[in-house]
Amino acid sequence: MTSSTQPTKPTRPPQLPKHTKQTQPPDHRSIRRLIRRIGNHLVNYGFVAVGVLGLLLHGLSFRISSLLALAAFSGYLIALTPVALLLTGLRRQLRPFVFAVIVTVVGATVLIPRFVASDAGYLHGPRIVVMTGNLRLGSTDPASVVRLVREHHVNVLMLEELTKQERANLKNAGLDAALPYSLVDPRPDARGVGLWSAYPLADREKYTTFTFALVSARLLIPGQSASPTVAATHMPGPFPQSPDDWLKDMARLPKLLSLLENSATPYGGGVLVGGDFNATLDTAQFRKLLSDGYNDAGEQAGAGGARTYPADTWYPPLIGIDHVLTNKATAQSLVTVSLPGSDHRGVITTVRLDH
């Protein structure tokens, strides 16, 4: 009996479990394209975004210490916008180029006026040389201060962080001989200020509504009908400590500036206010002071980029927080000078009164 043969069943290839998927090798070309696209966007829009951030920090009024500190440096961010214009132009990227043009033009309207001097050639009023400086808790070399006063023929001197000991040191160094008229309010630490003049002083005032000392007086200039008012001030630092005192004093200051202007009007007008404002031209609260006839002497003299702080480091000062405000007067020149022992550079400006 012959046995029948059974057909063999074809073998199936092993099946993967249903939940298991076969992995595909990464597409390196897609990854490179993604990286290239991201890089292009960063190049095209990165500096534009930096410029926009700078304009926002410049334009907005902040009440937080860290943001106030950033706002003080916003001019540097705005100054980077031409880089965006150059890069997008070279790469022929129309849309980001248009954005870069807009941001650059707006930034230029902010920065360029600081370096264009005002015309003071038509003024015929008295010429006054004003100096202001921060004494760093009364530790600045007094002989250097007196030397600067004499070398630059300073008529009015405003000093901040004046202590009783530093007041005595300055007197011993000969300041009272160089500038014989004074109104001082020395206090401990950073709170004192002083005002010295080559001319007699009238209407002497000491103000007690501010955190630090603030003094003002009217100059009696021989042979001149104009009798301008001068003031020395120091605003508290808004960083890294709480900015509350700085905010309160900066809010009070416009009222005082208006009062000084009104009191000076019967005597021919003219107000000069010098000091450490702990604010730059990029700080919104400071720019609010530059209204109702007040101007920044640095801007008027085309020296709006003058930097005064910090002055005790290996690198040059980064920001200008020491200012002279003018009312019915125009600054013709402005320079910064070294104050040995201080963390600020001093400011010396030559001002011509309007009348």
What confidence tens digit (pLDDT) does each residue in 271-296 have? 999 999 999 999 999 999 998 899 99
Q: How far apart are CA 190 and CA 346, in angstroms?
A: 16
pLDDT digits (tens, 9 = 90+) for 318-336: 999 999 999 999 999 999 9
Closest CA to 299 of 266, 334, 263: 334
| Average pLDDT of the residues in 231-239 | 98
pLDDT greater than 80 at residue 198:
yes
What pLDDT was estimated at residue 94?
A: 78
| Average pLDDT of the residues in 263-276 | 93
Q: What is the dihedral of CA 293, 152, 199, 330, to 10 degrees?
A: -20
- Scored b (16 or more CB within 10 A) or e, 17-31 reads eeeeeeeeeeeeeee
| Average pLDDT of the residues in 40-69 | 88
What pLDDT was estimated at residue 295?
A: 97
pLDDT greater than 90 at residue 218:
yes
pLDDT digits (tens, 9 = 90+) for 31-47: 666 566 655 556 667 88
Domain range 122-353, its CATH number among 2.60.40.10, 1.10.4160.10, 3.60.10.10, 3.40.50.1100: 3.60.10.10
Contacts 24+ apart (CB under 8 A), 291-294: 291/254, 292/254, 292/257, 292/258, 292/261, 293/261, 293/327, 293/328, 294/257, 294/261, 294/325, 294/326, 294/327
The gap from C-alpha 14 to its chain's centroid, in whole angstroms, comes to 75
Listed in sequence order, the residues at least 6 apart from 355 whose beta carbon sits closer than 8 Å to its beta carbon are: 124, 125, 225, 226, 268, 269, 270, 328
What pLDDT was estimated at residue 2?
A: 47
Listed in sequence order, the residues at least 6 apart from 194 whose beta carbon sits closer than 8 Å to its beta carbon are: 157, 158, 159, 162, 167, 170, 182, 183, 184, 185, 186, 215, 232
Strand bridging mode 156-160 / 127-134: parallel
Listed in sequence order, the residues at least 6 apart from 169 whose beta carbon sits closer than 8 Å to its beta carbon are: 138, 142
pLDDT greater than 90 at residue 174:
yes
What pLDDT was estimated at residue 20?
A: 52
Domain ranges of the chain: 31-114, 122-353
What pLDDT was estimated at residue 8?
A: 58
pLDDT digits (tens, 9 = 90+) for 92-131: 777 878 888 999 999 999 999 999 998 866 777 899 999 9
